[in-house]
Amino acid sequence: MVPSNLGEEMFTEVALPPEWEDDERMNFLFSDFKENRDVSTTDWDSKMDFWTSLILKICRSRGTVCVNLQELNKIFQRKGIMPLGLATVIQCMARCGKIQRESEFAANVDCGWVSWGVGLLLVKPLKWTFSTLLGSSGVTLNELFVVIELVKEKAAELLGVYQSSPVANHSLLSFQELRTLSSHVCVDESTLCMALLQLQREKQVTVSLHGGEKIVKFSQPGQNHVSPVSDVDLGIYQLQRSERLLEERVEALGLEAEKYKKDARVLLREGKKSQALSCLRTRKRVEKKADHLYSQLENVKGILDKIANSQTDKLVIQAYQAGVSALRLSLKDVTVEGAESLVDQIQEFCDTQDEVNQILSGGALNSTDADTDGLEDELRSLLENSSRDVPSTLPEVPSHPLSPVRESGSLCDDLLSALPSVPQSHFNITDDELDNELSRLTLADTGLQQKYRTSPVKRAEPAQ
């Protein structure tokens, strides 16, 4: 950090690059530029890049957007020596569009800004060309130049401050109100004016003069460009201004009434009853006046609320209109008859599909009816043969219910007593009959096995 003299009454500190302490390097950078760049292109470009980046860095650290040659000479003075090539640097930056004369910058936006009288523009704001800028007259010491990159950054900061402030819902602001609001962003009035000029160039701000007062209007949310100041805007601005004045007046009267009340209490303690009564009478008059102003303030607030509601209603109506237009476009080729025809076609196709599915499923079932009937007949014959050949040797199912379990006695005894008695007589089959049946079953099984061993498997012959 090296202290730099910015004028007789201005002294601050600016950050300078590390090579600032290198005498050999700085002697080269402080020397003047060659008249012809082609003599040493590398040296020319390195020196130009150094001073260009340093000027931008210094202006950004100071929060300013305008520079002049005299101020730069003082800032970059080193060991009593000033750089010799800063005029060439300014000319080259202007040729590249990095800086622009203040008068030219303002004239490109709106000549009406001349009427502001803020000491920024010349008496005759002409739109100079670069040929004049680079003419034989060169760059004067006190001529101001606007750094385009920095003024764009400052304009964006100013717009962000307004949009995030409590007065963002106020479309109009006085210049002094905006100056107070942006004091931490714009270090001086000149910086604020340049930022407003840039915003006006971007169509985000319009500035007008009404009743000798400079009024600034910002673009509102949802608007790409700011609209001109209308009579409605001016009426709302007057109401809002009246609201602020009434609030300040009511607050002042409240403090005044409280003061008279305290004075009356002090006088009463001192025994000055008549004076205390006089203070109380004055307090009553002040309170009555405050109540009257408060009533006016409520009326003003009511009017502003109605205006705000009407604007909201307007936005809702616009949204409805946009919705109706969108629906009209989306339903342009859609009719009730067309929808009914489409539904009928869909139902017809569904019915056809159901019929096809029913036919396919019915054919599959009918093809197996014959096989199913044959299988059921074979199963029925097997059941009849098995019931005829195998005698029933099982005992009859007991008909009487089991006796309930008694609380005393063994569970096993109860179960045994509930079983039927063992038959004492022999089955009605003799031993000879059993031997004959056994022999018959054995011979049948042996013949069946031999049949399957000796018989070849018959294959289906192809149709002739």
Which DSSP symbol is given to 115?
G
Instruction: Report whether 145 contacts 91 (CB < 8 A).
Output: no
Following CA atoms 13, 17, 18, 23 in sequence, which dihedral angle do they give, to the nearest 10 degrees?
A: -90
Which DSSP symbol is given to 272?
-
Does residue 410 lie within any of the structural domains?
no
Residue 128 in 3-state DSSP?
coil
Does residue 297 lie within any of the structural domains?
yes
Does residue 177 lie within any of the structural domains?
no
Which pair of structure tokens corresponds to residue 259? 């003061």
Tally of domains in the chain: 1
Does residue 449 lie within any of the structural domains?
no
User: Residue 62's closest CA among 15, 95, 97?
Assistant: 15
Which residues face 66 on adjacent strands? 146
**Mean pLDDT in the chain?**
76
User: For residue range 109-132, what is the model confidence (pLDDT) as tens digits?
Assistant: 654 444 444 433 333 333 343 334
**pTM, rounded to two decimals:** 0.56
Check whether 412 has a pLDDT greater than 90. no
Does residue 335 lie within any of the structural domains?
yes
Residues composing the chain: 464
Return the pLDDT at 270. Answer: 87
Give the CA radius of gyration of the chain. Answer: 54
Does residue 276 lie within any of the structural domains?
yes
User: For residue range 333-366, what is the model confidence (pLDDT) as tens digits?
Assistant: 778 888 888 888 898 889 888 888 888 877 555 5
Residue with tokens 């002090």, as numbered in its chain: 266
Does residue 304 lie within any of the structural domains?
yes
With residue 446 as reference, give the H or E element that holds it.
helix 431-454
Angle at alpha carbon of residue 328, lines to 327 and 333, rounded to 5°: 110
Check whether 28 has a pLDDT greater than 70. yes
Residue 207 in 3-state DSSP?
strand
Domain, as residue range, for 245:
230-359
- Of 70 and 128, the structure prediction assigns the larger pLDDT to 70
Check whether 458 has a pLDDT greater than 50. no
Does residue 284 lie within any of the structural domains?
yes
Listed range (37-41, 191-195, 208-212, 445-449) with the worst mean pLDDT: 445-449
Listed range (44-58, 312-326, 385-399) with the worst mean pLDDT: 385-399
Residue 231: left (phi > 0), alpha (psi -120 to 50), or beta?
alpha
Residue 464 in 3-state DSSP?
coil
Q: Which amino acid is at 390?
A: V
